[in-house]
Structure 1
Amino acid sequence: MKKAAIYVRVSTGKQDIVNQLPVLKRFASTRGFSIVRTFSDVASGARADRVEFNKMMSAAAAGEFDTILVWALDRLSREGMSKTVNLIEHLNKIGVDVVSYTEPYLDTTNELAKNILLAVVSTLAKAEREKISERTKAGLERLRRQGKKLGRPPFPGSVREKIRALKKNGYGARETARKLNVSHVYVINVLKSAGNKRGIKKAVSVSTERALKNRR
């Protein structure tokens, strides 16, 4: 008899857990599963605590059971198809199958069904990623048309001044980055920018001096 765990995740309170658990236990019995652990998470409002889910994943990795029973796939993961595929594949790699009560096709104990499921879900995940990419590009293009600047806002001038001051005092780029809690690359860019400006000013000064001499 296969050892199984039940995972229940609800968003409306404990009553749903009370309703789902007996059904899942009867379902497990008809499938020949022995329930060894039960995990229940309750999402309250905007919060979605996954304490029990994390415990379940640790127990799965420890080999405490070889099947996870869920009411529906969206109870296992609501983070999009891509992460759902990764989760199912990860569980399969450590020898744990996933069975959904309300979705008979979601049964990775059957090798053929598992391969078909992963192929379909992977395709949906790819389509989902492409849609997100398209929405992101469209959003950026809209902001460009509105004349809005994209990317991270620049650090305050005071930070750039501190970088240049530390440079004068002999601090290296990495040491400066650690001291000011900014990236090493940002420090280098600030110093390069300062160097370029000095170079431009010097070139302009030399050019002006030559022009004045020629006039004389």
Structure 2
Amino acid sequence: MRIMWMVAAGLALAPMPAQAALVLSQSQVGTTFNVDFGGAVLGLINQPNLGATGRFTFAGATDAGKTFNFTYALTNDSTVASQIRSFGLDVVGASVRTAMSTGAFATNSINPLSGLIGSDLCFTPSTFGTCGLLGNSTVTMGQTGVGTFALTFANAMESIALDDFRVNYTGVLGLYGATGTGDITSVVGQVSAAPEPTTWLTMLLGFTFVGMAMRRRGRSGVTYPRSA
């Protein structure tokens, strides 16, 4: 019991890990994950009545493992007047060579300044699509936009890691633009997560406390024969 208590104490010292990237391998065809998006007007003022939900499904890899294919269904579940202008995501640790998309967001762009502005990838309506401040919008309040997108890499990929999901809104309350980050709320299928640095710290602290406790317990259990 003392060892278990010390392990728990060690884990409590480390901060809670941030949400890890979602890792999908070629073998995990059919995996579906849901993303819940919030919204902040002008990127600063949180708007609790602004939001969207996305349902994404990995449809498999093609082109000898170079292309990963997905379907999407993006719903504007806001309770205020608004339109979704685009959605985006990052691919962790790999560069997308080309992207293709169909449906409600049939125009795509790869952002060379994603480290400073926006996401690695952005998907927008087909007419005058842009991930900047201007551009046509689609998926108004209560509507769902569906389609597909494909990510192609220079080399075959055993797996890819997806992170930093976001949406961009326009016409919020008839006037404002807004952005919203997304959290993965559920995953159906076998997937793995890329460990965050805080996860490794938690594990190391836990193992350290276990080792210390076992060493103390071993020493305290040693008896020596009394001299005659």
Which structure is higher in RCO with an 8 Å CA cutoff and minimum separation 6?
Answer: 2
Shorter-chain TM range is under 0.3
Instruction: Looking at secondary structure, tell me which structure has more strand per residue.
Output: 2
Instruction: Looking at secondary structure, tell me which structure has more helix per residue.
Output: 1
Which TM-score applies when normalising by structure 1? 0.24
**Structure number with bigger Rg:** 1
